[in-house]
Chains A and B, each alone.
Chain A
Amino acid sequence: MHLMLKKSIHNRETVAGYLFIAPVYLAFILFMLYPLVKAIIMSFTMVGTDYVGWVGFQNYVTVFKDYAWWPSVKNTIIYSAVVVPGAIFIPFILAALIRVMKPAAQTFSKSCLYLPQVSSGLVMSLVWFWIYDPFNGLLNYLIGKVGIQPQIWLGDVKTALLSLILMAVLAGHGSNTILYIAAMGGIPKTLYEVARLEGANWWQTVRNITWPLLRPTVLYVLIMSIIGSFQVFTPAYVMTRGGPGLATSTVVYKIFNDLFTYFSFGTATAEALILALVIITISLIQFRFFATDVEY
């Protein structure tokens, strides 16, 4: 009897599983997979705007020889190396801090932190562009007050990329903070009770209970941050157009340029696929490293 119940549940699960993922998956096949496959084919069959038939890896080779490719890769890596840890740890600390506040203060803080994300990347880039103005921008004004020399920020090859990074790190991180707070809410209070009874302080509690139990959320934030920072585009486009020189050219900026300025569809899609492969590889490694089914 028991065995049969198990089996029918198993079948039921399978059927339900497929049914439940069907809406997303069908739309996915139509609107994402199909264009994607087409794009992959483009990287192997197009040169410029023409379908010339199979050209093998010619486009990929062209990409690696392109003078603008490796600087774009370097910039993207540097950018991500700073922004991703920032996007993981800053909101985590903020979330932990906010949770000790009174509920009203919590609501207020969450709202304040999320607010910057409510305006589009385009507008934020414009606002920060003003902040970085070398003559009378807010930033030079502030650092002038503590005696630092005014910098050129976006106009100097030495500080341009740093300016973009700073903008990303000083963002509100509202969405990730809220995510962490919501997930922390799912941790049973009893665990905290036990920890308090055993005399653990705040840091120990966080390190041994909160952090491990939040792994799936952290993993999510990690992967989304990597995807986001590896694909950074809007600030590079709005604020500096990849410049000065190639100082802020990122991989996606280069792809965009190749598509809409040079009409080099073959190399653009090749670049996009290279990028995707890199992100996938890194994410797989993260998943291996991090993902364990969290059980109580």
Chain B
Amino acid sequence: MLSQKHLQKIELLSDTVLYPESVAFVRRMIQKEKCNPLPTTQVNGLLNIALTLNYDNVRNFAEHQRERNWPSNKRDIKTFYTHLEKELIRLEQRLDTEFALTKDEHGRPVSSEDERELLGRLTREYIQHLLAENMLAEAEIKEQRRFQQGPYRR
């Protein structure tokens, strides 16, 4: 079972590391990778998986979505999941080193179950921030397009 200290650390990481990184991820996908924001159905699917707090489920879901044979007009989704998968792996790699979450307050290693739960919680935080930014980006892009395609545009 995770200690109060671990839960507090996750909250701190959520605000100071995961939030800015998820915002940067969405901006990178839109501006650099020229992707459209993730559509609502995908947002809901990903969020539901993230809320289970099971890291392996999220990894499997991302891998499954990446491997799907998407039609050409939905290639952005494949690109999104390809990059998301890399971010998840990076998150996993930082659990011990950067985040220093794999030891308890007495310096003893946490159980592998706790490690998976820590990853699940970090992933949930990351994805929640990412999806909020994605929703905002989608609304802003739609609005820009509407103005460009307004009834008075020649």
A binds B: no
